[in-house]
Amino acid sequence: MAAPVIAVVGGGQLARMMAPAAGELGVHLRVLVEAADSSAAQVVVDAPVGAASDEAAVRALIAPADGAPAAVLTFEHEHVPNALLTDLLEHGTPVRPGPEALVHAQDKIVMRRRLTELGVPCPRWAALPTDPADARTALTGFLAEVGGEAVVKTARGGYDGKGVRVVSLAAGGPEQVAEWIEAAATGGPELLVEEKVPFTRELAVLVARRPSGGAEGRGEVRTWPVVESIQRDGVCAEVIAPAPGLTDAEAERARDAAVRIAEGLGVTGVLAVEMFEVAGEDGPRVLVNELAMRPHNSGHWTIDGAVTSQFEQHLRAVLDLPLGDTAPTARWTVMANVLGSTLDELTDALPAVLAAYPDAKVNLYGKGVRPGRKLGHVNVSGDDLDEVRRRALAAAAVLRGEDPEGTPNEERA
C-alpha cells in the first residue's frame, strides 16, 4: 500500500521542519519550493521548483506526470491564490485548510469581520474606505475616538512587522500612510485601522483541528499550553512555554477563544492565534491580534517540549488522522530565535554551542545569512525558568557570533 502524499506549497523552514515528522509517520512529503537551494529543498527529496502563484506548478505538485497524486494539499504560508484553491477543491483535491478558512489569514479585514461575528475579543477596528479623501476623514475620526494614536495595517501581504504602522494625530495622522492610501485607491491592498492596545505582554495559542471526531461532529480539536512571545523590532525573538504567571482562568479564556476561531472558521490543520494580554478591572483579559493557518514560530518549542510537535500534528490533521497528545514534556521550554549572524556559516558555531550548552536543541534552517533573518532557533527545557531562558538566549547568541555572556536576560515586556 503506497504511502499517502502530502503536497505542501512553500519551501521555507516550516516545510523543512515537517520533513522529520513525515518520515516518522511514513508519509511522503512533496514540497513546491521557490528555488532548488531553498530551506525545504535541502532536506526534502521530492521538491519541484515553482511559484505559489503559478497555477501550472501547483497543479503539477498535486498530480505530477511521473508520480503519485497527492492525497491532500496544504501550505507553509498563506500567499496562494484563493481562486485556484477553490477550483482544486471543487474538482476533488482536498485542500486543508480550505480556501474559505484560509482567506481569514490572507485578509485582515475579512478576519476582523468574522471574529467580531463570532464574539471573539478583538481591538477596536475599522476598515478604511478606498477613496483617498474618505479614507483620510475616516482615519482622522478613528484616531480622535481612540485617543489620538492607532495602528494602520495593510489588509493583505504583511508579516513580521511589515505592512504595519503606528500613526498619531500629533504626527500627521493620514499623512503618515499617504502612499498606502493612494495605493489602496488604485488596486493596492485595502487598509484597516486598529486601536493601539496598551498590552502588558503578547501571548499565543496553538490549536489543531481535524475534520472528523469531536463533539457533535465539529472535528477533533487539541490545544497546546498558552505561551508568551517576546517581540523585537516586530519579529518574534523568544517564546516561553507555558506563559509564566498566567492564571488558570485567563489560560482557559485564551484557549476557548482559539477553539472558537478554529471551529467557527472551519480550520483544518494547525492554527496560531496571537493575542494581547491587557490589564482590566477584574484582572487580565486577552484580545486577538493575528491568525496564521499553518505551523508557526510560536510553536517551535513543541518540537522538543511537547509530546506531539506542531509539525506532526499538522500532518495528522490534514490527513484526518487522530490527533496527538499536546502535553508538555518539561516544566518550562524556551525557544530563542537566531535572527541574523556575524558568521558566514552558522554551522561553524556548532562545536562551541553544543559543547557549552549540551542541553540545547539547535535547529538551523540552511539559509544564507542576512541581517535580522530567521536563520534557526534553539530550544532549552528544564525546571528553572531563569536558567532555561539564560541558556537558550546564550546558545542563540553563540550562533549569531556574539558573546553569550553579553546576552541580556531582559525583563519580559
Query: Binding site membership for ATP: which residues?
Result: 108, 153, 194-197, 202, 289-290
Is 192 in contact with 127 (CB distance < 8 Å)?
yes
| 270 three-state secondary structure | strand
Nearest to 314 by CA among 293, 328, 329: 293
Joined grid coordinates for residue 271: 492554527
Cα separations in angstroms, 132 against 58, 138, 188, 377? 37, 10, 12, 43
Joined grid coordinates for residue 260: 472558537
* Residue list for the binding site: 108, 153, 194-197, 202, 289-290
CA distance 63 to 149: 50
Q: Peptide bond before 81: cis, by omega within 30 degrees of 0?
A: no
E-strand stretches of 263-397: 269-278, 285-292, 332-339, 361-364, 374-382
Q: Cα dihedral angle (239, 245, 246, 247), rounded to 10 degrees?
A: 170
92: left (phi over 0), alpha (psi -120 to 50) or beta: left
Nearest to 202 by CA among 273, 139, 149, 292: 273
